Amino acid sequence: MPEPVKLLLASSNPGKLREYQVLAEGRAVELALLACFDRLPRFDESAPTLAENALGKALHYSRFAELPVIADDSGLVVPALGGAPGVHSARYGGPQASDADRIQKLLAELRSKGVTERCARFVCVLALALQGQVLAVFSDLVAGELLEAPRGSEGFGYDPIFFFPTLGRSFAELTREEKNQHSHRGKAFRKLLAFLESRPLRRPEVSSG
């Protein structure tokens, strides 16, 4: 039986951490939160794309750790709002806004613009870095529809208004296992697992030339 790969998660979001812990259960990885995450210099997630933020975040925090670090940038994309809140999903409604405030702001925006097309998707870009070098990047998405009012109390973020037609429930009405099976984050993480299973992780080689 090969040794599990130890990975450190760089995230301040407890909802994400809980999902990753369930995703890692019984797999060939051991996942822990990056030690002292809250006391490390913060990475400024102000790039215009999820990919740049995920890469930057993993790279930045990997400089403070021996072990490989994973970080994701994710968000809710609403085509009828030109892709908003998208890369701004965490800051939508201002820095002090709660998940409930952000949901109310989004619903108000849909109403005020008379939006009838309620398709939306969650997107996740997940990056793996080791000691200042990016080793791999994975992304995936899940498509759904925006509800007119929140439903359910599981999950986090925009889950209560994200209706998943395949199961006929909102993401906040799914168990963690059900959400992980279908979610943008679950699918991206399984790509990472396949990558880790296909090759041993090596420390970055330092070129002297």
* Buried/exposed code over 154-170 (b: 16+ C-beta within 10 A; e: otherwise): bbebbbbbbbbeeeebb
Mark whether 38 is an active-site residue: no
Rounded-to-integer distance, Cα 119 and Cα 130, Å = 37
Of 127, 103, 125, residue with least CA distance to 49: 125
Q: Smallest distance from the beta carbon of 91 to ligand ITT, in angstroms?
A: 8
3-state helix, strand, coil in the chain (%, to 5): 35, 25, 40
Given the complex with ligand ITT, which of 130 and 180 has the nearer CB atom? 180
Residue nearest to ligand ITT (CB): 157
Active-site pick, 72, 73, 99, 140? 73
Nearer to ligand ITT, 41 or 209 (CB): 41
Q: How far is the CB of 3 from ligand ITT (least distance, A)?
A: 27
Tokens found for residue 88 = 């701004």
Residues that bind ligand ITT (CB under 6 A): 11-13, 16, 45, 72-76, 89-90, 122, 155-159, 171, 183, 185
Question: Based on CB atoms, which residue is closest to ligand ITT, 90 or 146?
Answer: 90
Catalytic residues: 73
